[in-house]
Amino acid sequence: MIKPCAYEKQGLIDHAIGSYRVLDGKISESYYKIISRRLERYGIVLDLNGVKEIVKDVVVLHDIGKAGEYYQNQFDDNCNPLKSNFSFIYHELGSALFFYNDYELIDVEKAEEVKSLLTLAVLNHLNAIRGISDYLVNKFLDKFDERMIKLNNYGSIMLQNLRGVISKSLKVSDYTFDDYHDMLYAFSKKSDKYLKLYNLFLAPIMLGDNLDSSLVRNNGSKTRFVRILEGELNGGSTL
């Protein structure tokens, strides 16, 4: 196990792959069809294979923000914490900046619309703690450190090791306050109804993230929330 790290004694690459692997058999074909139909209502045409590929990408890469230098400097090369109070606070912001600026879609007519949905999904995947409404357009939140969004070093290592999982070649950057401001300002001006569909991508992220984390941390119990998500993605209601 080497850096980048997702948690104590857990590599970020392992978590990325694990978050998708635990979804095997938990997302029904009908759920992918629901995503395709809902998107088509807003002129975003994706076949089932395209939907599946995007869901895989966003689940695998939802925590790329944890590759920020600030977070990785809290661990040694074997993902042992160098201090007891390590934290990944605000890591969802780095993930969102990656999807907003550097994630690429191939042969998708309304690629920017899809990228907006994925950006919102990863930015809100800790919505019990923070969501997009908690961020300020003109300044960082308290205790924010700009090294949190410096992803080029460890993020590039992550992407290189995921080339067999992610079918496209992607890059990641060291993001800045200008990137942060531009993204939040753009969303503050959007009122398109299609944006509510980000929940369709959020559900697989949250299920994969929670299941993989509970397995690694030897917590086999499922919360009521996780059981609800499993029902939604495997033929239950349609979010």
Minimum mean pLDDT among 54-58, 115-119, 127-131, 152-156: which range? 127-131
- Rounded to an integer, the average pLDDT of 81-106 is 96
pLDDT confidence tier of residue 222, bands split at 50, 70 and 90: low
Asked if 42 and 228 touch (Cβ cutoff 8 Å), the reply is no
This prediction has a pTM of 0.91
Name the DSSP letter for residue 123.
H
CA distance 78 to 59: 24
pLDDT confidence tier of residue 108, bands split at 50, 70 and 90: confident
3-state secondary structure of 16: helix
Supply 71's token pair: 């977070």
Asked if 204 and 233 touch (Cβ cutoff 8 Å), the reply is yes
Minimum mean pLDDT among 127-131, 173-177, 193-197: which range? 127-131
pLDDT confidence tier of residue 75, bands split at 50, 70 and 90: very high
Angle, vertex CA 149, rays to CA 163 and CA 156, nearest 5: 20
CA distance 122 to 116: 10
Identify which has the larger pLDDT, 36 or 109: 36
> Per CATH, is 5-233 categorized as 3.30.360.10?
no
Cα distance between the two ends of the chain: 37
Query: What does the mean pLDDT of the chain come to?
Result: 90
pLDDT at 27: 92
